[in-house]
Each structure stands twice: as C-alpha cells, then as structure tokens.
Amino acid sequence: MACFSGFLMGKEVASRMLPRGRGTILFTGATASVRGSAGFAAFASAKFGLRALSQSMARELGPRGLHVAHLIVDGAIDTPWIHENFPEAKAKLAQQGWSIDG
C-alpha cells in the first residue's frame, strides 16, 4: 500500500501543481529504503519502492518546475505501535541522555 498510496497522492498533487509550474512534493522514507534487514522484507520493499517512485517523479517533473524529494527519517517515530513492539526503546534513549518527555 505504501507505494500505491504514494503514487496516487503524487499523481493528484502533481496534477494541481503542474498548471502553476511550481511546487514541492515530499515523500518520507526510512533507512530501510536504502538497506533491507532481516525480518523487514515487506517494509523494506515498500520503502525501496517509494524511494524509486520519488526519484522517477523528480526526473519527470523537475524540468516542469516541480521539486520532488525523498526524505529519510532515520529512526523510529514515537507511536503507540513502537511502544507496544519495542518497549525497551524508551529506556535505551534515556540511557543515551535524550529527552523524550518534551
């Protein structure tokens, strides 16, 4: 779904920006978009695909005034899923001296 939803969003947004001849489309990715790892085949495949989509869109739309970029978020995003599946993450960050409570 990551690639297809990115494609649909990119197509819709680009169609609205092209008549103006300017605009920026940002796709957020993960480290998995450049390096897969054990147990993350589906996630890495989706992120690889989204990166390829953004690169293709950049080459196609750049000459027409649109900037397309793929931004890698290198690390977990604080969500309930992360807390449920990686309960040790908060303690590890605290040991490193990071403030995670605001």
CATH number, domain of 43, equals 3.40.50.720
Q: Which of 24, 26, 21, 11 has the alpha carbon at shortest distance from 65?
A: 21
Q: d(Cα 42, Cα 65) in Å, to the nearest integer?
A: 33
Q: Higher model confidence: residue 81 or residue 8?
A: 8
34 is a domain residue:
yes
- 10 domain residue, yes or no: yes
Per-residue model confidence as pLDDT tens digits over 32-89: 999 988 999 999 999 999 999 999 999 999 999 999 999 998 777 778 888 888 888 7
pLDDT band at 98 (very low <50, low <70, confident <90, very high): low
User: Is the residue at 61 inside a domain?
Assistant: yes
In a domain, 101, yes or no: no
Distances (CA, A) of 35 to 10, 30, 32, 53: 24, 9, 5, 17
Residue 102 in any domain: the answer is: no
In-domain check, residue 92: yes
The pLDDT of residue 69 is: 97
**Domain that residue 64 falls in:** 2-96
User: Does residue 71 lie in a domain region?
Assistant: yes
Give the count of domains, the chain. Answer: 1
**HSE of 74, CA atoms in CB hemisphere, 13 A:** 2
Q: Is-above-0.85 flag for pTM?
A: no
Identify the CA nearest to 57 among candidates 1, 95, 102, 13: 13
62 in a structural domain: yes
